Amino acid sequence: MKEFFKLPSPNSTHPNAWKRNLIHVLLIFASCFGFLIYIPSVYLAWQQKFGEVVILDTLALLLVWFLLLLPNRFYRPKSYFFLSLVFTMGCLLYTKIGLGGAGILWLFLVPVFCGIFLNRTFAFWGWAATSICVFSGILFAHYQIWAESSVTPFQIFVIGSNFTFLCGILTFLVITILKKLGYGIKKQKELILLQKKDE
């Protein structure tokens, strides 16, 4: 079991070493706390007759365990699968339960994680896709598809606007900070190489 929870050496010179470490840590937390959340979540979904949520929660937990067992060299596939899982969970919970569920919180994480683990292009499209998903709630509210019939399309519009604004700002800040951090690490490595040459 120790092999599954072992982090790669922080002294690695690979440019994505810290990203590999971060995705590994996230999967460890998701596997541990996800199991604790899984039981009440499935129980509540079963009581409310949301069979799709029960199935997806089960598959999501199994996928997290599977990704955790993969070697760290599969950083890219881990990132794609993990982000797909977060986006799918967000869409299903939002469309099935509405604002009363955690779907909008899952969607909020998508562009931020895209900016951390992938690149700016994925972050932008993730931000656009999640914003569209949130605004699509206007149709659900208008046709009273959600169980919570008191929600109005105008409320969804206001929430969607706030979501788009705040999520966009946070994603932009994360990307900017990571870009500055990467530039600083690159400069530091160049200085170390120059010092070694001088010696």
Q: What is the pLDDT of residues 103-129, one digit of tens each?
A: 899 999 999 999 888 888 999 999 999
- Does a structural domain hold residue 3? no
Burial of 132 (0-12, 13-18, 19+ CB in 10 A): exposed
Percent of the chain with pLDDT over 90: 24
What's the total number of domains in the chain?
1
Expressed as residue numbers, the domain containing 62 is 17-198
- Does a structural domain hold residue 87? yes
**pLDDT recorded at residue 98:** 81
- Comparing 63-67, 148-152, 194-198, the range with the smallest average pLDDT is 194-198
**pLDDT recorded at residue 87:** 93
**pLDDT recorded at residue 13:** 47
Amino acid found at 165: F
**pLDDT recorded at residue 134:** 93
- Does a structural domain hold residue 25? yes
Are 85 and 107 in contact by the 8 Å Cβ rule? The answer is no
Of 142 and 114, the structure prediction assigns the larger pLDDT to 114
User: Mean pLDDT across the stretch 93-106?
Assistant: 85
- Does a structural domain hold residue 177? yes
User: Cβ atoms within 10 A of the Cβ of 67, count?
Assistant: 21
- Does a structural domain hold residue 5? no
Residues 6+ apart with CB under 8 A from 105: 90
- Does a structural domain hold residue 48? yes
Rounded Cα distance between 40 and 112, Å, is 27
**pLDDT recorded at residue 5:** 47
Task: Give the pLDDT band (50/70/90) at residue 19.
Answer: confident
**Cα–Cα distance list, 28 to 22, 25, 33 (Å):** 10, 5, 9
- Does a structural domain hold residue 8? no
- Does a structural domain hold residue 9? no
Burial of 17 (0-12, 13-18, 19+ CB in 10 A): middle
- CA 148, 154, 160, 166 dihedral sign is negative
